[in-house]
Structure 1
Amino acid sequence: MMTDVLVSHSSDVEKAEFYKKTYLHVAFAILAFIGVETVLLNVVPPEVIGLMFAQKYTWLLVIGVFWLASFLATKWSLAQSKSTQYFGLAFYVLLEAVIFLPLIYIAVANAGTVVILQAATLTIAMFAGISAVAFTSKRDFSFLRNIIVIGGFIALGLIVGGAIFGFNLGLWFSVGMVILASATILYQTSKLKEGYTTNQYVGASLQLFASIMLLFWYILRILMSRRS
């Protein structure tokens, strides 16, 4: 039975069980996202989806809600209560499905499902590669934390500025965000054993899922820009 201690202080068997459960929950979260997104695409009228990207202030409201919910989900991911962790994960999956709705709708309308599959394949491949580096490398990736925080605030400022003043952030911004998301995955993966106890695998999966979705978002945007 897994004890409620930091992963770094647990036995090899408990560590293996923690990582196994964490990545299984990441996979389940991705499958749940696909299911919810499919339902939304078939249920939500195109006119309503159009409002999410046609009005700049509506999109700013969405961004604000997203960041607030991200803060709450992060807090829930660190809870000791398993039910709270599951609630945070389920809530975040639903939130991501809503946020992705207009982007997925435009992608399917303009390029079909092929571009979605390409973006998903690239995202999974990059996530697997970054995770392998984090697990096999003996380097300390703590230095990435400040870079990620500063980069996140800069990105948020540019996104808000673009939404208010109507300028296009362009391809290089998406490339930069892919790099930032990749750095976040590398940092989070390397710090799993220090930041979570053996019973917080649901919360750990939430953090990884959030970074995967950020990576997927901007890879999809890059692929869509090449087809426009």
Structure 2
Amino acid sequence: MALNTPYGSRRGAAAYALPDERAGFIRKTYAHLAGAILAFVLLEVAIFSTPAVRDTLAGLLTQSWLLTLALFIGASWIADRWARSDASRGLQYVGLGVYVVLQALIFVPLLYIATISINDPTLVPTAGIITGALFLGLTAVVFTTGADFSFLRGAIILGSLVALGLIVASLLFGFSLGVIFSVAMVGLAAASILYSTSNVLHYYRTDQYVAASLSLFAAVALLFYYVLRILIAMRR
């Protein structure tokens, strides 16, 4: 029976695979997620270890934020399509890699504020710890209950469109999105983690661990971004 999910029928899903295959799929998914997070961290370390590159990227991305946002959305869609495709495994990895690089670039201005402008070395580690704790807690909820959170898809899409509209409006009309917006985005990211983790258990096929890891990485990156924004606002 076809379901209202991005994956169509549940036939062939990891939920119906043999226990060893299902366990292997889950291990590969979270190993790729860990690899994506590590690659993201290393990219940021490389950027911020070179002041000229760091300052140039921070300036360019801040001044042309609307164009950057448009390019990010378009390239993210392509990367996600590649990662989900039934084409070569190499193309799926390219999609994941492109998305990690894009996220690393998007984070540069925010990390610049936290580490250079405010110059508080505790902000980024604290945001990382909070993000990790929230991610582990939400993951535990899904794995211990086995609940299907696919019903969140519509709310996540609607919330994302509203958030995108507010971000574009703030850039065009020059108003600031405050802490309340960041808190709402943390809620949206939490819903995305529940949704993506549920899909790992119920809908992804056992050969889609690259796509599954990209979906989880996107939700974790969103959560980290807005947790850090909240901490920066509190520090100011």
TM normalised by structure 1 equals 0.93
Please list, as runs of the form range in 1=range in 2, the aligned pairs for 1:77-226 lying within 5 A after superposition: 77-80=83-86, 81-109=88-116, 110-226=118-234
Structure 2 CA distance for aligned equivalents of residues 185 and 66 of structure 1: 20
Kindly indicate whether the alpha-carbon contact (under 8 Å) linking 1:77 and 1:207 is maintained by their aligned counterparts in 2: no
Deviating above 6 A after TM superposition, structure 1's stretches of 4 or more consecutive aligned residues are none
Structure 2 CA distance for aligned equivalents of residues 83 and 72 of structure 1: 15
Number of aligned residues: 222
Kindly indicate whether the alpha-carbon contact (under 8 Å) linking 2:57 and 2:108 is maintained by their aligned counterparts in 1: no
TM normalised by structure 2 equals 0.90
Give the counterpart of 1:51 among 57, 60, 63. Answer: 60
**Structure 1 residue ranges without an equivalent (≥5):** none
Give the counterpart of 1:7 among 7, 14, 17. Answer: 14
Kindly indicate whether the alpha-carbon contact (under 8 Å) linking 1:148 and 1:180 is maintained by their aligned counterparts in 2: yes
In structure 1, the partner of 2:79 is 73
Structure 2 CA distance for aligned equivalents of residues 46 and 84 of structure 1: 32
Q: CA RMSD in A?
A: 1.5
Kindly indicate whether the alpha-carbon contact (under 8 Å) linking 1:116 and 1:220 is maintained by their aligned counterparts in 2: yes
Give the counterpart of 2:39 among 20, 32, 54. Answer: 32
Structure 1 CA distance for aligned equivalents of residues 30 and 108 of structure 2: 25
Secondary structure of 1:187's match?
A: helix
How far did 1:223 drift? 0.3
How far did 1:47 drift? 4.3
